[in-house]
A and B are shown apart, each in its own frame.
Chain A
Amino acid sequence: MNDSASGIVVDIQDLNYHVGDLVILEHVSLRVAQNSFLGVIGPNGAGKTTLLKIILGLVSHYTGTVRVFGRDPRKMGDMRQKIGYLPQQAGFDRTFPANALEVVLMGRYGVIGLGRRPGAEDRRKAMEALERVGAADIAKRQIGRLSGGQQQRVFIARALVNEPDLLIMDEPTVGIDTQTQAAFTELVLELKQMLELTVIMVSHDTGMVATSVDTLACVNRHLHFHGAPGELTQEELEQLYECPVEALFHGDVPHRVVEKH
């Protein structure tokens, strides 16, 4: 029986990764069950994005075992399409000449294969993905001219265009106002249920994480905590951030990290 049949989508055992002398991740072991929602929190530079990139097969030189759908993420082949990825924003050029539909279509390129152009079927799937995230009306608008929230929907549509089983998001709510963030969270939960997705999300926003995820992983080079959000104590969180944390997951109030004096 392989891992995907046993209900484990991501299985990481004793993962170590360093760049030169700099230790990025050390002794990380983590399992993500099918249809679960994992939130990954931790301070800046804690290795959260690297962890995602390892799961995505974008980072190669690590030690330990990583299995995604029972496969080595560096050699996923066609299985790659089972993963949808929403990267950290900021990178792209706001004046880039591409509209929302073209951006979603990019997600199909790997399936279409080299030397061939997207066809009617690809366009239909891309439109469908845009409809699913409620962004069909902006299909022809240039990507850079959309609001942060709209862009995020387009990128989520691209992540979903191949009907993946695993959705990976890196800081999806950075640079988006609170209201849009709430709508975004709702959308993710809705999509998760409708498409039976397993979701992994890295976030700074511990408030949002605490209210939406099933399991929480606190990463700061090591995996400090792995369990349900309610089980995390203030001490553990402070240890993670290596500084006093003022407020915790009480209702809607997001926590604040108090500056070191």
Chain B
Amino acid sequence: MSIFSFGFMQRALVAGLLVGLVCAVLSVYIVLRRMAFVGHGIGHASFGGVALGVLAGVNTTFMALVFCTVTAVAIGLVSQRKRVSEDSAIGIFLVAAMALGVLFISLKKTFVDVEGFLFGNILAVSHSDIVFIIVITVIVLGLVSLFFKELFYFSFDEEMAAVSGIPVTFIRFMLLILIALTVVVAIKVVGVILVSALLVIPAVCATQLTLDFKAVMGISILGGLIANFLGLLLSYYLNAPSGATIVLVLFGLFILSYGFRGARERLQSR
């Protein structure tokens, strides 16, 4: 295809597909553990990091990484103590980090591309971004395949996993940190606001279609790849914002899978 002869489109495609892949893999655990709000919270926390990076003149991706990881660990620690519930903890860290971000941006008097952080700009992905995305992809996929069975049991029943000798505290924090790493690369593609869509919708689509775990993983990955590819293509031809287009394609896939399940259930009950 001719549009992929442009360097920025090639990078956008690679970034989109890799981000689609890692997000789809993690979305399975996020959806099965009912922690959709976690991706949302960590995503918003990254804004504080990006803004601090801009203000201090430090690499924004690095600062976002620090902010997201700290938030992920804090959510894990606070909810482990059980004095504050996990969703309340996320709600608190989310707004605190966002507020810090707004404050930092306001202190910086020069122009800052806030919209790029909030909504992503996949066409502005650089060579070093690509390297970063590849590194994160390898880390996430490597750890998920290494701890595949532990994550499966942990998602099904955390307490029983502990009884069976699974190091659940390690798995819990590993998952949170992997989500944090993924959020940082995903905001390049869809931005802070929309990142939770990539971390939730692919697995929701998959669970509409099958009750087999490996099939859920496969369909989720397929959905993530299709949405990022198709979304990128559509946004190019329609001259629409890429992040929003990708998310809307994902939403379309959700509607399709939801409708498919409903139709199948009606047929079966007939």
Contact = CB atoms under 8 A, between A and B. Distances in A.
Interface in A139-156: 142, 144-145
B62 interface: no
Interface stretch (A27-35, A84-92, A184-192, A208-216): A84-92
Interface in B5-51: 32, 34
Given A93-B32, A109-B150, A115-B146, A80 B213 contact: no
Contacts of B160: 85, 87, 106, 158
A142 B146 CA distance: 25
Contacts of B34: 93
Interface string B174-185: 000000000000
A102 interface: yes
Interface string B52-73: 0000000000000000000000
B146 A81 contact: no
A258 interface: no
Interface in A74-120: 80-81, 83, 85, 87, 91-93, 95-99, 102-103, 106-107, 109-112, 114-115, 117-118
A22 B132 CA distance: 50
B153 interface: yes
B149 A118 contact: yes
Contacts of A114: 146-147, 150, 167
A247 to B, nearest CB: 35
Interface residues of A, number: 31
B211 A95 contact: yes
Residue among A85, A110, A117, A118 facing the most chain B CB atoms (10 A cut-off):
A110
A117 B159 contact: no
B161 interface: yes
DSSP class of A's interface residues: helix, strand, loop or mixed? mixed
**Which 8 residue pairs spanning A and B have beta carbons closest together?**
A110-B165, A110-B164, A142-B211, A97-B213, A106-B153, A97-B211, A97-B216, A85-B163
Interface of A: 56, 58, 80-81, 83, 85, 87, 91-93, 95-99, 102-103, 106-107, 109-112, 114-115, 117-118, 142, 144-145, 158
Given A87-B159, A106-B153, 5 more contacts: A95-B211, A99-B211, A106-B157, A106-B164, A109-B161
Interface of B: 32, 34, 146-150, 152-153, 155-157, 159-167, 207, 210-213, 215-216
28 contacts: A80-B164, A81-B165, A85-B160, A85-B163, A87-B157, A87-B159, A87-B163, A91-B159, A92-B156, A93-B32, A95-B211, A96-B155, A97-B215, A98-B156, A99-B212, A102-B213, A106-B153, A106-B164, A109-B153, A109-B164, A109-B166, A110-B164, A114-B146, A114-B147, A114-B150, A115-B147, A145-B211, A158-B160
